[in-house]
Structure 1
Amino acid sequence: MSRQTSSFSAEFNEINQEIVLSGRMRPRSVQEIASVINMVRRSLAESGSTAYVNVKRLTHMNMTAFRCLAEVLKSACEQKPQRMIVVVTSSVIAWSAPLFQTLASTQPNLSVEIYDSAFYPGQTFVEDESFIPILRTQTKMTWRHEREILPRHGLRDGLTIADICCGIGDFATLIKRQFNPTRLVALDHSKKSLEYARRVAAEFGLNSIEYTYGDASQMLLADNQFDFVTCRHSLQIFDRPDVLLRELYRICKPGGRVYITNEKNSHCLGEPHSETIRWTYEQVAKLFSHFDMDVEMGPKSRRLLNDAGFDAIKVESFMVTNLDGDPQDFADVIEAWETVYAGQMAVRRGDTPDFIRRFRQGFKDHVLAALHPKGYAGWPIWAASGRKPY
């Protein structure tokens, strides 16, 4: 069951018991949306013990539309008080959650679920401003490799590019300076990171980068828009990477490419003290898995891209090491990992002091390996890309 106008659409998925509203719902009169409201009313009447009203892609809504929808929701709540109705919103649409939460406060069997608040399990661990310099250092270390790798995956001058999950925007600025895209959109779900990104871009005079706040799993970007789409070190911290890949596929033009990078943390290595280092990074992988993240994703890239519908898939790996520039840079990154992984994540998981002490020792030995005059420290990364079929 569905209804569509030039500006918005509504449909009911009987399997999921979900009504999906999307687009711009700005009627001038009640009659203009009468068919949609009737469809919502009938769908709620047919639903079982829990019904969902999905407004994640409803970008605009005037009060005429909201009053009509609110009346239908309240009536449905009163008719079946034992049935729950869940309104699913997104924090990206700033007006949405507060408006529906106000409505939900008047109905005990109506609730609001902010979809993306649970979708990014790693968000809180990397939003601390003290982590920003480390993110910049990581990009500096990987860029030495990626600036040579990216052209092999189809990046060249003059393309339209989207950098999804752009973080603090440092990769976008490097892309802008070296590959001179005709358009560059950089999207992230962290307002703090985007504020920092805009400041840095302004300092370098790169004002044409379009930094955009958004939910990568439900982007408010048009279909088939970009020649080249990047998403680095991000699929591994989503609990549903397949959902994000579908969005990357959607916004990519037919014939364009999507480029991703991911890690395999258990393969981080170092000499001397290789055994303690190996044990710690094996525990890192298990720790991330506890929080529904997968930092072992790197070698899975080919399968993920294939399952998402891409063809002409290219995969390569590289090792960031203490020999890539200043060894102190690598040591600083490892110390930041220790702070977040052992100081925050392991504590939140409830690990014992003895475990955390041993866990920390592997990071300290990795730092020693990075700084030792005869030492070696490595961090493996997989770079992969796929073409969207014509």
Structure 2
Amino acid sequence: MAASLPQRFKVDFDPNSQIFSLAGTIRPRSIDEIAESIHALREAIDTVRGVLYIDVKRLIQMNNTAFQAFIRVALDACRERSDLRLIVITSSVVSWTTRMFRHLSTIEPQISVEVYDSMFYPGQDYFEDTSFIPILRAQTKLTWRHERTILPRHGMRPGIAVADICCGIGDFAVLAQKEFQPSRIVALDHSKPSLAYARKVAAEFGVTGIEYTYGDASEMLLEDNQFDFVSCRHSLQVFNQPELLLKELYRIVKPGGRVYITNEKNSHCLGEPRAQSIQWTYNELARLLSNFEIDVEFGPKSRRYLADTGFDDILVESFMVTNLDGDPQDFADIIAGWEKMFADMAVRHGETPEFIERFRQGFRDHIFAALHPKGYAGWPIWAASGRKPL
């Protein structure tokens, strides 16, 4: 069942998952305006046995009239049924919902609040750490020389509406704006420190027009069908449920628009000399990160995931970032950052000191290959895009 009002909000109940969802802006002048939605909540409560999840992750605004009406139904139901539990699912993206709904748990013990993104994905604390910022800057510096020629083949062009989802420190958005001059560009990320850095750099360099937005890529507060081109770079491999992100990217892109993704296959990182040591470390890296539900082998899987999401006209290509792409020290700096972060993860996972030392040595040998006057070091990237059918 579903209902909607001119205030542009949605109410929905899924009996299979026992989730009642509120989304959008609910600002009625009287309870009569939301009577159908209040009735939908009562029906949902009558239907479930055990737990009803009330999902407010996409609830942008709610006035006191609406809040009191919905909550009265919930409180009355809890007092009538001792078997009923209500779990309100909120998000830090709309933090007022956590503050408002959490108060209910002090009134009624059968109601509790869970912040959905408090444990967003297993590797979140690593990739949202500000110490990762220099690595991100160096990575974009080396990948951009390839991507600037690739992007037009995947739908990037001047004058279009663009969204860069999981934008990190925002450097790709800045480069895309300067190179292609879209009519609009939204850059969204879940890391507040990264967004703060992005805004600071944009201000220092006089870059304007980029809408930096705090948000959850799997539950975006962006409307359907509003962008011609949506990018999501080096991110599907980090999330433990990439299909959820792709579903959201599909939702916000216009019919006929394209979604562009980049991902890696780290076991294909290479270097000469000391190739065997390098190969061993990157094979072990893929194994290690799988324990954190991070799939750095995602790159070649891009086509399948795009097809399963419903995209057509899928394009896939790969390129090798190397120590010959500008200053070899830039490549070495990326690998040095990887060594530190991934060795820390190995320690956290409980690997032996002997393993960690050999693991570190492979990164050091990759740096050696990058800086050797006759050496070669590579890092492969898969770029793919799909069109949302008309």
Shorter-chain TM-score category? Answer: over 0.9
TM normalised by structure 2 equals 0.96
1:302 corresponds to which residue?
303
Q: Distance in 1 between matches of 2:358 and 2:102?
A: 45
SS in 2 for 1:94: helix
Please show how residues 96-107 of structure 1 align to structure 2 within 5 Å: 96-107=97-108
Cα distance in 2 for residues equivalent to 1:389 and 1:39: 33
Match of 2:351 in 1: 351
Q: Cα deviations across residues 331-389 of structure 1 (Å, max 9, x unaligned)?
A: 1111111111112x222222222222221111111111111112111111000111111
Secondary structure of 1:217's counterpart equals: coil
Distance (Å, rounded) in 2 between the aligned partners of 1:373 and 1:177? 34
The whole-number CA distance in structure 1 between the counterparts of 2:377 and 2:70 is 59
Aligned-partner SS, 1:161: strand
Alignment-derived partner of residue 383 in structure 1? 383
Match for 2:324: what amino acid?
Answer: L
What stretches of structure 1 of length at least 5 have no aligned partner?
none
Alignment of 1:159-308 (within 5 A): 159-308=160-309
CA distance in 2: counterparts of 1:171 and 1:61, whole angstroms: 35
Structure 2 counterpart of 1:244, one-letter code: L
Question: Please, what is the CA RMSD of the aligned residues?
Answer: 1.4
SS in 2 for 1:237: coil
Aligned partner letter, 2:283: E
CA distance in 1, matches of 2:106, 2:379: 49
How many angstroms apart in 1 are the aligned matches of 2:129 and 2:170? 15
Report deviation, 1:275.
1.5
The CA deviation string for residues 152-187 of structure 1, in whole angstroms up to 9 with x for no partner, is 212122211111111000000100111111111111
Counterpart of 2:319 in structure 1 is 318
SS at the partner of 2:95? coil
Distance in 1, matches of 2:64 and 2:365, equals 61
TM-score, scaled to structure 1: 0.96
How far the C-alpha of 1:23 sits from its partner, in A, is 1.6
Aligned residues: 389
Cα distance in 1, alignment partners of residues 343 and 241 from structure 2: 25
Q: Output the CA distance in 2 between the equivalents of 1:6 and 1:353.
A: 62
Instruction: Using the TM superposition, name which of 51-60 and 61-70 deviates more.
Output: 61-70
Match of 2:370 in 1: 370
Helix, strand or coil at the partner of 1:211: strand
Q: Which runs of 5+ in 2 are unaligned?
A: none
Instruction: Tell me: CA distance 1:273–1:105, structure 2 relative to 1, closer, same or farther (3 Å).
Output: farther
Distance 1:354 1:81, change over 3 A: farther
**Aligned residue in 2 for 1:89:** 90
| Alignment-mate amino acid for residue 382 of structure 1 | W
Which letter maps to 2:346? A
For 1:53, give the aligned amino acid. Answer: I
Given residue 164 of structure 2, which amino acid in structure 1 is its aligned partner?
D
> Which runs of structure 2 are paired with 1:88-127 in the superposition (5 Å)?
88-127=89-128
Three-state SS of the structure 2 residue aligned to 1:105 is: helix
Corresponding position: 1:49 with 2:50: yes
Q: Structure 1 residue 144 and structure 2 residue 145: aligned?
A: yes
**Aligned-residue offset at 1:19:** 0.7
Q: State the identity as a percent.
A: 63
Aligned equivalents of 2:158 and 2:13: distance in 1? 44
Alignment partner of 2:38: what SS? Answer: helix
CA shift, 1:330, in A, is: 0.9
